Structure 1
Amino acid sequence: MLYQIGPITLDTMPFNADTMRRASGAAVAEKGVMGARPPLEFMGKGEDRITLSGRLLPTRIGGLTELETVRGLMEAGTRVPVMRGDGKMFGWHAIVRIEEDHANLDRFGVGFTLAYTIELLRDGAEPSLGGATGIFDMMLGLFEAL
């Protein structure tokens, strides 16, 4: 497994990823003072984005169904956990953007090669899975997206 986005596994086949980009930030406030450079006050964690990209061969290997499932999660606004293949948890994310580029279209309009990009934004109010209610709500949200 390369990455896990909620119920979707990105692996070498059929739905793969070949690049990952992560951009994180911090929120700071500038305090004005006279005669000196303004000191910065740390206000908390800032935006945290993950971008996964890859190429699919839908007519040979598949992967189009998984991409449509990710699109369904995005359209439903479902927050999903994101995990790297080595077990590193990135927290709960919203899928905010999906791009597809089809090349060499077949007679059904599907590309022989399909380049995709999925952009995820970390949710600041991560759901708690400590109780049964949190697990039930997360599972219900995943099934609604499917």
Structure 2
Amino acid sequence: MTLGLFVFGMDTIAYDALTRRISWRHEQSERFMARAASQFAGPGEDSISISGRIVPEVTGSYGAITTLRDMADTGDNWALMDGTGRVLGWYRIDRMEETHADIMAGGLPRSKNFTLDLTRVK
């Protein structure tokens, strides 16, 4: 999978879970003595959460987290493409969560768990 020019992989970040949430909008108008009238108003929010664990001794690089953070700091939208070459759409990075685990001497983490939240913009 790629987000812009960032490639998710064994040398950067290999994610182990992807959750996609898609909704559709239905506008409603209240009616007297009847159920609300509903009209389809188009696609709603399309969001993706990518999560995984980085263990530099085995796979991944802490520098990849910095790269994703720098991408988010630009506020740009990025094309998201799956491993088969299918473009899923253009997404922005809304949120990143990191958890440092297995802390070693000096406060260095042996691993980091991460979650990256994306929202489709086009």
* TM-score (normalised: structure 1): 0.76
String of CA shifts for 1:4-48, please: whole Å, max 9, x gaps. Answer: 111111123441000000111112210222222112111121111
Contact map agreement 1:77 1:94 (CA 8 A) in 2: yes
Cα deviation for residue 59 of structure 1 reads 4.7
Higher relative contact order (CA 8 A, sep 6+): 2
Percent of aligned positions that are identical: 28
Distance in 2, matches of 1:108 and 1:76, equals 32
Unaligned runs of 5+ in 2: none
Task: Name the counterpart of 1:35.
Answer: 33
* TM-score (normalised: structure 2): 0.89
Runs of 4+ more than 6 Å apart: none
Return the structure number with greater strand share: 2
Contact map agreement 2:98 2:112 (CA 8 A) in 1: yes
Cα deviation for residue 114 of structure 1 reads 0.8
Return the structure number with greater helix share: 1
Task: Name the counterpart of 2:23.
Answer: 25
Q: Which amino acid aligns with 2:116?
A: I
Unaligned runs of 5+ in 1: 127-146
Aligned match for 2:92, one of 91, 94, 116: 94
Does residue 48 of the first structure (1) align with residue 35 of the second (2)? no
Does residue 70 of the first structure (1) align with residue 57 of the second (2)? no
Cα deviation for residue 60 of structure 1 reads 4.8
Q: How many pairs were matched up?
A: 122
Q: Which amino acid aligns with 1:30?
A: Q
* Paired residue secondary structure (1:31): strand
Q: Which amino acid aligns with 1:50?
A: I
Task: Name the counterpart of 1:141.
Answer: none
* Paired residue secondary structure (1:120): strand
